[in-house]
Amino acid sequence: MPRVDLPASLISLFKAARKVANDTECKAVILLAEAEYDFSEVKKLLRGIPLIVASHLPEVQDAVKVDEITLVPLNHEPQTRQVQLSQSLLEAIADDLVQTGDRVVAIYSGFERENLDTLSVINLSEHLARLTTRDLQRLETQVPLQTLRKVVDLAVEIGREGREAKKVGTIFVVGNHRKVMEMSHEGIHDPFRGYAKKEKMITSPRVRESIKEIAQIDGAFVISSDGCVMGSGRILDAPAEELTLSKGLGSRHWAAAAISKATNSIAIAISESTGTVRLFQDGIVVLRIEPMHQAMKWQDVEIEPPGE
Ligand SMILES: Nc1ncnc2c1ncn2[C@@H]1O[C@H](COP(=O)(O)OP(=O)(O)OP(=O)(O)O)[C@@H](O)[C@H]1O
């Protein structure tokens, strides 16, 4: 397979990346590649610093695999470089290649589309907090952003705080609530049953408090697209066939993945053991949020620079 030679300027960029990564304690170098470089050569230049290559191009992905380098395959057409970079970091976190809180060096074409010319040092915890709004916007095709934000905020709070010093895990299934109710059954007698819709909106602080209380009991919350709690304590019955999840995820996460696939909803699972929040869409993890010390900072969507 013919490979693109590394020009002298690029060799020096990789050497600089190695130095920056060492000096700033970066965990990995992420390369957004649009050409079939000699990735083994790049790896050699980095001398032991883990290399992750992200690309949406099948021929580049093949070259990365042949060179036995860690690949983050991007499925989408690139939008702006910034979005593509965010997506790569997110996928790398979701695949457990790097962790929230790590620092990484990213190399990409920031100035000219064809040339790898830019090196950034990215702190993933800061980045992830900023990334979340944008990423949720991508999920908005299925559930309105307003509802997703509220549920994710609540999930992160539950993961961080637990309840009365006890760790708490649960599942929220958002959107397509009729189908989700059909594909689940009552685990406990539902404390929300019998209340009028306007008394069960997740925008209400009282409802959010009740959710935190009920979250200690087994089962899932079913939330409608407009943010109403349609059911709680539900045991999800979607079949977990044809799903692949990271090792170490147990029955709660399998149930969340399966229901998101079977009902075209977004499932949000909070791990009782770690407090980690995972968003599932179409059976896979699309976003992972580690428990953070401060509350999530939502950026105002309107003030984001255009094209980001
Ligand atoms: N089908 C289901 N529907 C709703 N909740 C479920 C379902 N399966 C498991 N759970 C919940 O998950 C809990 C058990 O989680 P388990 O430890 O097997 O999963 P896990 O994915 O490792 O999650 P955690 O990280 O929270 O431990 C159960 O007590 C139950 O509350």
Could you give all domains of the chain from N- to C-terminal order, each with its CATH number? Answer: 8-123 (3.40.1380.20), 133-289 (3.40.1700.10)
The ipTM assigned to this model is 0.97
Residue located nearest, by CA, to atom 17 of ligand 1: 250
Taking only the tens place, the pLDDT of each residue in 27-55 is: 999 999 999 999 999 999 999 999 999 99
Measured from the CA of 234, which atom of ligand 1 is nearest? 4
How many CB atoms are located within 10 Å of the residue 255 CB? 23
Instruction: Tell if the pTM clears 0.90, that is, is over it.
Output: no
Measured from the CA of 270, which atom of ligand 1 is nearest? 26
**Of 55, 58, 29, residue with least CA distance to 44:** 29
Across the chain, what does the average pLDDT equal?
Answer: 86
Compute, in angstroms, the gap from residue 250 CA to the centroid of ligand 1. 6
Residues of the chain with pLDDT under 50: 293-308
* pLDDT, position 296: 45
Torsion sign, CA atoms 58, 60, 61, 62 = positive
* pLDDT, position 138: 66
* pLDDT, position 29: 97
233 HSE (CA, 13 A, CB side): 13
Q: Ligand 1 within 6 A of 249 CB?
A: yes
Residue located nearest, by CA, to atom 21 of ligand 1: 250
Q: Sheet of 28-32: strands edge to edge? A: 70-73, 51-55, 28-32, 103-108, 118-123
Q: Which residue has the tokens 């079913």?
A: 222
Q: Ligand 1 within 6 A of 168 CB?
A: no
